């Protein structure tokens, strides 16, 4: 699926799991950064409903010892891409999801104000799947076309905006492959001037 249509802040065709962990952006027109994260719950395990439960504030503390240490968190990315390529959206893009925490990008703090957060189900040691890359490329291309202040130059890992605090998506994320696939799919550095390839 090369093209994901964005309508009123939602991806058409994505599964919606509504999170309440968001609020209004200071400026809905200032969506100018994409942040790539990784997550697995319990750590190192894939599948199940634990990520959905974390992002919707209903993680059962007694289901795993680790859960009791994080169940107080009020967090959510905008989107999760599962290992099998399934795309789940929790927060509409024009709202401020709580994914970046204390963060800075090019001198601007509070990245949640202007960023879209994308979680990849995975770890910093395990290679992400081919399907995840393909879905991430489709999603990224659609976001670049939907939000004019976004640019290929402003796609970063969580580690880049919170150095010393966060390390995801980690060495297992192949940035060269990601950017190469964007190029192959016809996504230029500024998508407003490259409409030659639809997703």
Q: Is 119 a catalytic residue?
A: yes
Helix ranges (DSSP H) in 23-166: 50-55, 67-70, 130-146, 158-161
**Contact (Cβ atoms closer than 8 angstroms) between residue 161 and residue 101:** no
Closest CA to 78 of 28, 34, 128: 34
Closest CA to 170 of 32, 31, 40: 40
Q: Per 3-state DSSP, what percentage of the chain is helix, strand, and coil (rounded to 5)?
A: 25, 20, 55
Which of these is catalytic: 12, 28, 45, 119? 119
**Contact (Cβ atoms closer than 8 angstroms) between residue 56 and residue 18:** yes
Integer Cα distance of 101 and 158 in angstroms: 10
Phi, psi dihedrals of residue 20, rounded to the nearest 5°: -100, 10
β pairing state of 108-109 and 104-105: antiparallel
**Count of C-beta atoms within a 10 Å radius of residue 15:** 13
- Which residues participate in catalysis according to the annotation? 119
């Amino acid at each position: 699926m090369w093209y994901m249509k964005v309508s009123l802040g939602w991806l058409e065709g994505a599964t919606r799991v509504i999170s309440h962990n968001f609020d209004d952006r200071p400026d809905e027109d200032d969506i100018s950064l994409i942040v790539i994260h990784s997550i697995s719950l319990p750590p190192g395990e894939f599948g199940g409903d634990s990520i959905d439960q974390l992002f919707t504030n209903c993680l059962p503390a007694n289901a795993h010892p680790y859960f009791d240490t994080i169940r107080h968190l009020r967090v959510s990315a905008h989107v999760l891409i599962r290992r099998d390529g399934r795309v789940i959206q929790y927060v509409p893009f024009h709202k401020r999801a709580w994914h970046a925490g204390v963060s800075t990008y090019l001198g601007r703090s509070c990245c949640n104000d202007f960023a879209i957060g994308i979680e990849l189900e995975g770890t910093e040691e395990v290679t992400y799947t081919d399907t995840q890359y393909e879905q991430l490329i489709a999603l990224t291309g659609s976001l670049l076309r939907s939000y004019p202040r976004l640019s290929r130059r402003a796609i970063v890992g969580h580690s880049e905006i919170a150095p010393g605090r966060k390390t995801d998506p980690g060495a297992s994320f192949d940035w060269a492959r990601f950017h190469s696939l964007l190029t192959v799919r016809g996504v230029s550095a500024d998508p407003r001037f490259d409409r030659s390839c639809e997703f």
